[in-house]
Structures are given as structure tokens and as C-alpha cells.
A and B are shown apart, each in its own frame.
Chain A
Amino acid sequence: MHEVTPARPARRRRGVNVFLWLGVSLLAVFALLALFGEVVAPHDPNAQDLFAMLEPPSAAHLLGTDNVGRDILSRIIVGTRYTLSIALASVLFAGIGGVALGAIAGYFGGVTDRVVTGIIDLLLTVPNIVLAIAIASVAGSSATGLTIAITASFIPPLARLVRGRVIELAQEDFVAASITVGMSHTRILLRHILPNAATVIIIELSLNAGQAVLIGSALGFLGLGVQPPAPEWGTMLGASREYLTMAPHLVIAPGIAISLLVLAFNAFGDGLRDVFDPGSSS
């Protein structure tokens, strides 16, 4: 049995939390690019030059140009918005859906629990990338479709995690006390149980965000992403793989961008865990 995690850590770890700061600073950079991409980008991300296509990196185009002569650096910068907003939106919606389902199932138990967990277990048997592909092919190629697909694939594992935590917390004395004084179920859940489960949820969500970037890019790579000419990283990767041998820079740039963003979310998540839950780190 775990101890109940306090809402704030009793003691901070000694020294600087490298992961957290790495994650936070990388995410800050990406967030700025997402907000001010058009201003920062050296070129119009959609401006084509058919007489300057597949050019290697140069002073004019720091990351070279793509298969229709667009500046890759500008596309990566402006594309941050798509990748980041899809990841954040899907994690947000998955958070709402997963927490609601998990909390209801875990708190009320009985038939409600059996029905919800039954459905979740069923969905858990489908690998999340497969589920996401299935949903994206029905929802069509759009940022909304991608978000729905990723959200749907995250809800089952998250709901399961939250349910476990809520069942654990529901045994605690302070819950029993709340029931004795006649608090409503809603109030107990919202005011007492969920705040105590918050750290687990936040850490899981920040790690999920990294996963969301990967799944979103994979779907974009498979052609289920945003509509052209939007510069989404996975789509850029997919469109340029044909040119891998003749112009490898087309593949490398979005590949590195995806890796960095995933790294940022994972470092952030790991760092958060170290802060909130020092006991669990090795």
C-alpha cells in the first residue's frame, strides 16, 4: 500500500531538478514558436519556388527546401502550432474523459464499475495506435480528426489508472469522515478524492502528451494528418520519405523536431514526478 501523497511535497529533493528544467525550457521555446511562428519564421512556410526545390541547407534556407521548394525551417517553426495544439488538446480532452470515467467507476463501484471497466478492458486490448488509425480514417484528414483519434486512444488507460487511485483513496479515513458528516458524493469526489489523485493524473498526462506527439506524427506520416499544404511535422516526414536517398535533410528536420518535442514532454513529466513523488524515483 502506498502512503497517501500529500498535495505538496513535504521536502524538496536536494539539487537542481535537471529533467524538469530541461522539459520546461524546451516546452517554453516550443510554446513561443507555436504562438509567434509566423513572426519568427524567416520565410512564408507555404511560398513555393519550383526552381529551388530539394536544395540542401544554405545561408538562405538554413534547413534547405522541400519537394516543392518551400523553406523547411519556416515550415518546422510554423508547424509547431499544429503538433503542439493537437497534443495538448487531446491530452486535455483525454484528461477530462479519463478522469470522469475512472473516478465514477472507482468511487461508485458495483455495476457501474463493472460496466465501465468492461468497456475499458475491451478497448485496452486494441493497441492505441491501431485505435487511433481506425478513428482517424473515419473522422477524416483534419486536425480535429487527429485530436479525436488520439483522445480516444488515451482515455482507456487513463481511466484505469484513475479508477485504481480512486479506489485506493476511497478507503481512507478522511473519506469515511466526509461521508459521516453527510457530504454529497460529488463534493467528496471533487473536493477530497480527486485533489489527492491529482499528481498521478498530471504526471501521466504530461507523459501522455509526449505520446500524443508521436501518435499524431505517425498518423500524419500515414497520410491521416492535416490537409496540405499545412506544415504538420508527421505529414512532412511522410511526404519526404521518397526523397530519403537524394535529399535526406527533408526527413531529418521534422524527425529531430518531433524527437525534441517528445523529449521535452517526457523530461517535464519525469521531472514533475521527481518533485511530487520523490519516493518513487530510483
Chain B
Amino acid sequence: MQRRTLLTGAAGAMLLSALPATTLRAFAQTSQGVITFGQSTAVLTLDPAHGAFTGYPGGYEAALVLFDRLLDFDADMTIVPQLAESYRMSDDLKSCELKLRSGVTFHDGTPCDAAAVKFNIERMMNKEINTTNRPLWDPISGVDMVDDTTIVIRMSAPFAQLPNTLAHGSGAIVSPAAIEKFGEDGFAQNPVGAGPYRLDSFNAGQELVLKAYDGYWGGAPGATGIVFRFIAEPATRINALTTGAVDVIDAVPVHLVGQLSGNADIEIARRPGLRPIGLAFNLTRPALQDVKLRKALNLAVPVATIAERVFFGFAKAPDSPLAFDAIGHRTVGETVFDQAKAKALLAEAGYSAGADGILEKDGEKLSLSFFAPDGLFPGDVAVAEIVAASLRQVGVDAAINKIEKGAYWDHLRQDKANLAWDMAMFGFNPSNASGTYHLASLFKSNADDNGKPDVWNIARYRNEKVDALLETASSAPEESARLDALGEAQALIWEDAPYLWLQINENVSAAGKSVSGLGVLPIVFTTLRNASKA
């Protein structure tokens, strides 16, 4: 047998600690007028249909400058015109007339007129072609062309969120001629839109090069080109930014922001996201059907401190089931940390401490199975550890079950018989920014609580009043009535506490000082649409 050196093992252990280091490519310095964006996710496909823009959110970020949509979200998630100069919803919310901008052309020179828009909407309605984002497109039943610059979109049922759908990334208007030329399969690698930048070269998974489109209806964009480059490792992205190899980076981990904020050449852009993180309670468990218990659990966790300490202030405690920038958000409560009150509530609910300090009721211990993913939500494992330790302080045993992130969604979306968790960490990102869409996805009663949840009501929350309010919120003709109903629904859900509400994280991006106009949208995306480079 060959003699092994003692150092092999020791060196191996050292190697282990160096595992995250990735190969650093030699980056060329960025050229004048061209913005280089170091993205945390690779751009793989650029077609709003066939699985939409991937990867998420990298593909959408590229799509935001490559394509125009009929409507757009501004920085505050208000809906503003883009290819449509104006729109008018009918009183019954079952049709919408849009007046299109005239003289707009796609990058291939073909006109972006009513016929092209009709082609696009019908393409997105087609379940065979457009497989994702179905809740956004299913309510649409048809499109009528009135003249060259006017179309009417018809819906099968009242659908107040139509403007959100049209402003959503998947509402990108593509060139019908290009679909014809490259085929349904080839378009994703050869995208042609009507946005301010056109395709120059595309190496899927690595680099996407766009250049300014001279014929853009809104005038020349702020940069002569944009290069999207995939840099997976956060530390590498930060190095690339500080050395000037890239101008913009996204997904700066909050514990690394400190490194950048001291640098005078770099500007940080931050924005609370639309995805509130929380722990869904499994309401099919008899113990958790008691609202006193759910409220006590909410009181026992120092959410504001988690936001402040674990996320270095780049997170906030929620004040509603919706995130602050969701359309229709209303402040309906506040997160309170009061373990004495939590204990009092638990006593009121009939729990008393057993021999080992764990609470019990009728001889049954209050032990909760707590599922959390590893690396799916910001700081998920650390937050889970803090929650478990806090609950233990009031006598609740919460055993963490850390699940590999790829397998996590399957555990959440189970039928009742196979639900292994009592509490599970979850966050929903309403990609069309609609609060109604968000609440309906999470809290509208399932058709059958024994089966898999219809959308994401994994908690099996069931409240007829909330169902009725959500119905009003999506179909009342008056916008104010819709918002009132949505506000009331938020208040009811907050009171019922089907979740242990945790934090709302901020999206953090950074840019060199030569770049201005960088935007971070609450829906994760970092947008370069209005960015320019000196």
C-alpha cells in the first residue's frame, strides 16, 4: 500500500473551505457609452411564450429593454402607457379599448400596429404556445381590431387586472415577421421586439449584447449598448464592479453591501420587494386551527430585530399580508414582539408547561414540524434557527426540517394526507404587482382542502368573507370599491394570522457612478431602461 502523507487530509479540509471561490475570468474594462450589467442569473431564452423569459429574473431584465409592452409599470408600480397611448376599461370590466402609438416599428423594420398586437395577444392566449403565466392570460377571450391603431381586448369574466397583465414582462410585444422567420422554436434565441435596444449577439447562458435601436419611437436611449453578462458568485460580481469590469450588478447580498457603501465611486440602489416571507401554518392540524395559538406564535418572534440584525436593515417587518409596494396595499396592523403576551395567550388557549418546559394540552405536546428551504429565500436557514429558538422561549418546540431547495416546492404543494409540515417558510412574488392577484393566490378558499391547493393556498385558509371581498376586489366597476374590498380583505387575513409573518426583503443592486438612471423594481428586476452612461 502506498504511504499517505498526513497533509492530504489537512489540505483537503482547507480546500473545502475554499470551495465557493469560482474561477475569475479576466474582464475587459467596459467601453464608453456601453453599460455592462453583471447579472446573478443567466439569460437563456427571450420569448414571452414557451416558458417565458429565462432564467428568472435575468431573462426578464433583458426583455425589459429589448421589448416594449402596451403598458408599463413606473418606479412606484403605477401603470403608465408604453406602446398604448391610452386605455379604457369598460364598466363591466369585461373589455378594454386600447389606443396604440402610431408609426412604431420593430427592430426588423416591420410595423408594430394593431395587427401585430392582435397577433401577440392571441399568441399569449394560446395554451399550447404560452405555457407559463396562465393566470394572467386565461381571463382574456379575444381581441378585435377596430382600426390600425385601436384594439379591443375582451374578457370572459370581469378582470380588473388586465392592465397589470399587459404591463407584466410577459406582455412583451414581439415581431410577427420574426416569429415567421425563425419559427416558434427559434425566436427565443433570435428575439426581435420594439424596445429601445436591439439584439447584437446572444450566447445563451453567458452573454447577451444589445445595441441602441435608432428607430425607437421614444428617441435614442441613454446608452449606445448594453451587455448582459452572467456572474454567478456574489463576491465575483462585487469585484467586477469595483474594478470597473462591469457597470451594474444585481443581487448584492446584504452582508456585502458594507464593502460597497464605503466606495465613493459606487452607488447602491435598494427597494423593498413584493414578496413577504412568512411561515404558512398548516390549518388542517387541529392545534393550529386555534387563532389564539397562531397569534401567540406571531408575538413570540422578534421580526423587527431579524430585519434589522440578520438583514442589516435591508428588510422590514410587514404591516399587511401584502408587501408595501403591491398595488392595493394597506397598512392593517403591525408586528409586535411580546413574549409575555404570547405566553398569556397560550395559557388562555389551554396550554401549560410540561416537565421538560414544552407546553402541552390534554397530554399532547406542542411540537411543530417546521420546514424551511436551504438557499431559496434570503437568509432562510438563519431565520428558521432564530424562529425556532424564539418559539422555544415561550415553550413551543419547533423542529426544523431543512429541505434541499429543488425538492422544497413539492413538499409545500401536497394534498392534505401528505402534508408533513405544521409550519413552512414561504414567500409569493406577485409578478404583476397586483395585490388582488397576490391575496387570491394565497388566501382564496381551495375547491377541495384535501387535494393539492388550487394555487398557493398551502395553509388551507378558508374565510367566506375574504372570498367575497376578493371577488369584489376583482370585479367591482369602481376602482375605489375594488381597493376598499382589497384593504378589508388584508385586515381580515391579518387578524386571522394564517401565517407567522416574517420580513419583506429589499432588492439591492449597485452601479458605478458613470451610470445614472438605474432602477430597481419591487418585482426583483433591475432595469436599465432609463439608464445612461457618461
Same complex for A and B? Answer yes
Name the residue on A nearest B258 (C-beta). Answer: A246
Residues of A contacting B388 in the complex (Cβ-Cβ under 8 angstroms) = 228-229
Tell me whether A246 and B256 are in contact (CB under 8 A). Answer: yes
- Within the assembled complex, what's the spacing in Å between the Cα atoms of A266 and B19? 22
Tell me whether A50 and B255 are in contact (CB under 8 A). Answer: no
Tell me whether B13 and A251 are in contact (CB under 8 A). Answer: no
Tell me whether B6 and A218 are in contact (CB under 8 A). Answer: no
Q: Given the known A-B contacts A228-B402, A246-B255, A251-B17, are A281 and B3 also in contact in the complex, defined by CB atoms under 8 Å?
A: yes
Q: Given the known A-B contacts A227-B402, A242-B253, A245-B259, are A46 and B389 also in contact in the complex, defined by CB atoms under 8 Å?
A: yes
Residues of A contacting B235 in the complex (Cβ-Cβ under 8 angstroms) = 244-245
B335 contacts A by Cβ under 8 Å: no
Greatest chain B CB density within 10 A among A46, A224, A255, A273 is at: A255
Name the residue on B nearest A263 (C-beta). Answer: B10
Q: Which of B112-120, B150-158, B378-386, B508-516 contacts A (4 or more CB under 8 A)?
A: B378-386
- Within the assembled complex, what's the spacing in Å between the Cα atoms of A213 and B13? 9
CB distance from B499 to the nearest CB of A (A): 21
Q: Given the known A-B contacts A246-B256, A263-B6, are A237 and B382 also in contact in the complex, defined by CB atoms under 8 Å?
A: no
Tell me whether A50 and B309 are in contact (CB under 8 A). Answer: yes
Tell me whether B400 and A237 are in contact (CB under 8 A). Answer: no
Tell me whether A67 and B310 are in contact (CB under 8 A). Answer: yes
Interface members, chain B 375-426 (any A CB < 8 Å): 375, 381-382, 384-386, 388-389, 399-404
Checking B17, B20, B310 against A68 with a beta-carbon cut-off of 8 angstroms, the contacting residue is B310
Tell me whether A229 and B4 are in contact (CB under 8 A). Answer: no
Tell me whether B13 and A228 are in contact (CB under 8 A). Answer: no
- Within the assembled complex, what's the spacing in Å between the Cα atoms of A227 and B310? 20
- Within the assembled complex, what's the spacing in Å between the Cα atoms of A203 and B3? 11
Tell me whether A255 and B258 are in contact (CB under 8 A). Answer: no
**Which of under 10, 10 to 19, 20 to 34, or 35 or more describes the interface residues of A?**
35 or more
B64 contacts A by Cβ under 8 Å: no
A282 contacts B by Cβ under 8 Å: yes
B16 contacts A by Cβ under 8 Å: yes
A141 contacts B by Cβ under 8 Å: yes
A55 contacts B by Cβ under 8 Å: no
Tell me whether A217 and B309 are in contact (CB under 8 A). Answer: no
CB distance from B34 to the nearest CB of A (A): 29
Name the residue on B nearest A269 (C-beta). Answer: B4
Q: Given the known A-B contacts A227-B399, A242-B253, are A221 and B16 also in contact in the complex, defined by CB atoms under 8 Å?
A: yes
Q: Given the known A-B contacts A227-B401, A228-B402, A245-B235, are A239 and B13 also in contact in the complex, defined by CB atoms under 8 Å?
A: no
Residues of B contacting A227 in the complex (Cβ-Cβ under 8 angstroms) = 399-402
A53 contacts B by Cβ under 8 Å: yes
- Within the assembled complex, what's the spacing in Å between the Cα atoms of A134 and B19? 19
B374 contacts A by Cβ under 8 Å: yes
CB distance from A203 to the nearest CB of B (A): 8
Name the residue on A nearest B384 (C-beta). Answer: A228
CB distance from B458 to the nearest CB of A (A): 21
Tell me whether A229 and B20 are in contact (CB under 8 A). Answer: no
B8 contacts A by Cβ under 8 Å: yes
A71 contacts B by Cβ under 8 Å: no
Residues of B contacting A223 in the complex (Cβ-Cβ under 8 angstroms) = 374-375, 402, 404
Interface string of A246-268 (1 = CB under 8 A from B): 10000110010011001101110
Interface string of A189-217 (1 = CB under 8 A from B): 00000000000100110010011011001
Residues of A contacting B103 in the complex (Cβ-Cβ under 8 angstroms) = none
Considering only CB atoms and an 8 Å cut-off, how many residues of chain B contact the other chain?
42
Interface string of B301-343 (1 = CB under 8 A from A): 0100110011000000000000000000000000000000000
Tell me whether B386 and A50 are in contact (CB under 8 A). Answer: yes
A79 contacts B by Cβ under 8 Å: no
Interface string of B46-83 (1 = CB under 8 A from A): 00000000000000000000000000000000000000
Residues of B contacting A224 in the complex (Cβ-Cβ under 8 angstroms) = 404
CB distance from B370 to the nearest CB of A (A): 10
Tell me whether A239 and B10 are in contact (CB under 8 A). Answer: no
Tell me whether B309 and A53 are in contact (CB under 8 A). Answer: yes
B26 contacts A by Cβ under 8 Å: no
Tell me whether B20 and A241 are in contact (CB under 8 A). Answer: yes
Checking B6, B13, B310 against A267 with a beta-carbon cut-off of 8 angstroms, the contacting residue is B6
Q: Given the known A-B contacts A246-B258, A258-B16, A280-B1, are A50 and B9 also in contact in the complex, defined by CB atoms under 8 Å?
A: no
- Within the assembled complex, what's the spacing in Å between the Cα atoms of A218 and B18? 11
Tell me whether B404 and A48 are in contact (CB under 8 A). Answer: no
Name the residue on B nearest A54 (C-beta). Answer: B255
Residues of B contacting A259 in the complex (Cβ-Cβ under 8 angstroms) = 9-10, 13-14
Tell me whether A255 and B404 are in contact (CB under 8 A). Answer: no
Checking A141, A243, A252 against B255 with a beta-carbon cut-off of 8 angstroms, the contacting residue is A243
Tell me whether A19 and B6 are in contact (CB under 8 A). Answer: yes
Tell me whether A214 and B12 are in contact (CB under 8 A). Answer: yes
Interface string of A156-184 (1 = CB under 8 A from B): 00000000000000000000000000000
Tell me whether B19 and A221 are in contact (CB under 8 A). Answer: yes
Greatest chain A CB density within 10 A among B17, B310, B386, B388 is at: B17
Residues of B contacting A141 in the complex (Cβ-Cβ under 8 angstroms) = 401-404
Residues of A contacting B1 in the complex (Cβ-Cβ under 8 angstroms) = 200, 203-204, 273, 280
- Within the assembled complex, what's the spacing in Å between the Cα atoms of A242 and B257? 12
Name the residue on A nearest B373 (C-beta). Answer: A223
Tell me whether B374 and A255 are in contact (CB under 8 A). Answer: no
CB distance from A256 to the nearest CB of B (A): 8
Tell me whether A266 and B4 are in contact (CB under 8 A). Answer: yes
Tell me whether B6 and A255 are in contact (CB under 8 A). Answer: no
Tell me whether B3 and A244 are in contact (CB under 8 A). Answer: no
Tell me whether A282 and B256 are in contact (CB under 8 A). Answer: no
A37 contacts B by Cβ under 8 Å: no
Residues of B contacting A102 in the complex (Cβ-Cβ under 8 angstroms) = none
Tell me whether A217 and B13 are in contact (CB under 8 A). Answer: yes
Interface members, chain B 405-460 (any A CB < 8 Å): none
CB distance from B401 to the nearest CB of A (A): 6
Residues of B contacting A234 in the complex (Cβ-Cβ under 8 angstroms) = 16
Q: Given the known A-B contacts A53-B309, A141-B404, A207-B4, are A244 and B399 also in contact in the complex, defined by CB atoms under 8 Å?
A: no
Tell me whether B9 and A266 are in contact (CB under 8 A). Answer: yes
Name the residue on A nearest B372 (C-beta). Answer: A228
A137 contacts B by Cβ under 8 Å: yes
CB distance from B115 to the nearest CB of A (A): 51
CB distance from B417 to the nearest CB of A (A): 20
Residues of A contacting B8 in the complex (Cβ-Cβ under 8 angstroms) = 266
Tell me whether B309 and A51 are in contact (CB under 8 A). Answer: yes
Residues of B contacting A137 in the complex (Cβ-Cβ under 8 angstroms) = 404
Residues of A contacting B256 in the complex (Cβ-Cβ under 8 angstroms) = 245-246
Tell me whether B3 and A217 are in contact (CB under 8 A). Answer: no
CB distance from A161 to the nearest CB of B (A): 8
CB distance from B419 to the nearest CB of A (A): 17
Tell me whether B4 and A214 are in contact (CB under 8 A). Answer: no
Known: A141-B402, A263-B9. 10 other contacts (CB 8 A): A67-B310, A203-B1, A214-B9, A227-B402, A239-B381, A242-B234, A242-B253, A255-B16, A280-B1, A281-B3
Interface residues of A (CB under 8 A from B): 19, 46-48, 50-51, 53, 67-68, 137, 141, 200, 203-204, 207, 210-211, 213-214, 217-218, 221, 223-224, 227-229, 234, 237, 239, 241-246, 251-252, 255, 258-259, 262-263, 265-267, 269-270, 273, 280-282
| 16 A-B interface contacts by CB (under 8 A) | A67-B310, A137-B404, A204-B1, A214-B12, A217-B16, A223-B404, A229-B389, A229-B400, A243-B255, A244-B20, A246-B255, A252-B17, A255-B13, A262-B10, A266-B6, A273-B1
